[in-house]
Amino acid sequence: MRTTNKNMRLILGSGSPRRRELLAQIGVVADEVRPPDIDETPLKSELPRPYCIRMAREKALAVPAESGDIVLSADTTVALGRRILGKPDTAAEAAEFLLAMSGRRHKVITAVALRCGDRIWEKDVVTTVKMKRLSDEELNAYLATNDWQGKAGAYGIQGPAGALIPWIQGSFTAVVGLPLAETAGLLRAAGYPLHKDMP
């Protein structure tokens, strides 16, 4: 039987402000934020979904925590076919990614891993996203915002790039960086009190 501990500490193994904001939407505030420092290089011939799942798990395992703490980590990967579109280093690389996705559908995979002691709970969500066909003017205007920096696939759907995404099938919050319904389910499974103040 699952026991719920109201004094359970939650450590967010992510430096993403978007993930903190999403957790706040379901009333969850991490007790500490400890971004993990791991090598995020894909393995040779590694496909996007297994890569994303591996990253979330490795991040959760890399965060130091006490035995009763819950560590929550996630990874968001943008995939164009078998190709992983990571975080671009330059505006030129961002432009290359955006032009590759222009007028096409791609997948956004977000994997979540929860660790408490030796136990790990995992879930991954795949969302299909369509990007409109970009004109040179739209591409250059978006690149000028610098919103592509630090974002997988060179865009964040919750920012200026939202105007470039006419259609998605799946979880909007997963595309932002954390699928809330699935994350809430994992927290409940781990015994974390989601509604501490509710009777």
Q: Cα–Cα distance between 164 and 155 in angstroms, integer?
A: 10
* Secondary-structure breakdown of the chain: helix, strand, coil percentages, each rounded to the nearest 5: 35, 25, 45
- Which residue blocks in the chain are alpha helix, DSSP H? 17-25, 48-62, 91-101, 136-145, 172-176, 180-189
75 flagged as catalytic: yes
The reported pTM is 0.92
148, two tokens: 């592509």
The answer to whether the beta carbons of residues 174 and 112 sit under 8 Å apart is no
Q: What is the pLDDT of residues 18-52, one digit of tens each?
A: 999 999 999 999 999 999 999 999 999 999 999 99
Give yes or no for a contact between 175 and 127, defined as CB atoms under 8 angstroms apart.
yes
* pLDDT score of 3: 43
DSSP 43: P
Q: Rounded CA gap, 194 and 199, in Å?
A: 12
Catalytic-labelled residue, pool 75, 89, 118, 147: 75
Tokens of 11: 């450590």
* 66-115 pLDDT tens trace: 989 999 999 999 999 999 999 999 999 999 999 999 999 999 999 999 99
Name the average pLDDT for the chain.
93
CATH 1.10.10.10 is right for the domain spanning 10-190:
no
- The domain ranges of the chain are 10-190
